[in-house]
Amino acid sequence: MRVITARAVGFVLAGVALFDGAGLLYGGDSAVQSPSWAVFRAFPGPETVGLIYLTTAVILIYALARPGELLAWVLSGGMVWYLVVAASFVASWLVTGGQVVWPALSKPLSLTVLWLLVLLAKPITPAEAPPHGQE
């Protein structure tokens, strides 16, 4: 049996946050033209949101290298951040009376669940791990 470790998923989450942050910093206002981004476009702005993504990713990479209390905090923060993004989409639709784009919620909500699963994952001790190369 192969096991995907929470650490590996954590690095994937950091990669997604880096990608999102870089896209918002590079794209600026043009990166957030859809009605779903109306709230974040108004406040705090795409560059600030991009910096939040990048900061979260960098802290997560650092914390994954040194598991401990910081890792739990950054995983909790990342989970809440993606939940806030999803909530801002819903708020944008309510405020602007614009088109509701339900698929827009799938990414932040699924990432919220992944951040939660990594946070709650039980570490595999060496005694529980199967020998290398065996399934």
Res. 131 pLDDT band, cuts 50 70 90: low
Question: Per the structure block, which two tokens stand in for 125?
Answer: 């001790």
pLDDT tens digits for range 46-97: 899 999 999 999 999 998 888 778 888 888 888 999 999 999 988 888 888 8
Intra-chain end-to-end CA distance of the chain, in Å: 4
- The whole model's pTM is what? 0.78
- Environment class of 65 (CB within 10 Å of its CB; exposed 0-12, middle 13-18, buried 19+): exposed
Q: What mean pLDDT, rounded, does the chain reach?
A: 83
> Helix H segments across the chain?
6-27, 38-42, 46-65, 69-96, 106-120
Reading the block at residue 34, the tokens are: 């859809």
Angle at the Cα of 46 from the Cα atoms of 43 and 48, rounded to 5 degrees: 75
Of 68, 109, 69, 78, the C-alpha closest to 10 is: 78
User: Is a pLDDT exceeding 70 seen at residue 133?
Assistant: no
The residue-averaged pLDDT of 34-45 equals 82
The predicted pLDDT at position 63 comes to 87
Residue 128 in this model has a pLDDT that exceeds 70: no
When pLDDT is cut at 50, 70 and 90, the band that residue 1 belongs to is very low
Distance CA 85, CA 37 (A): 9
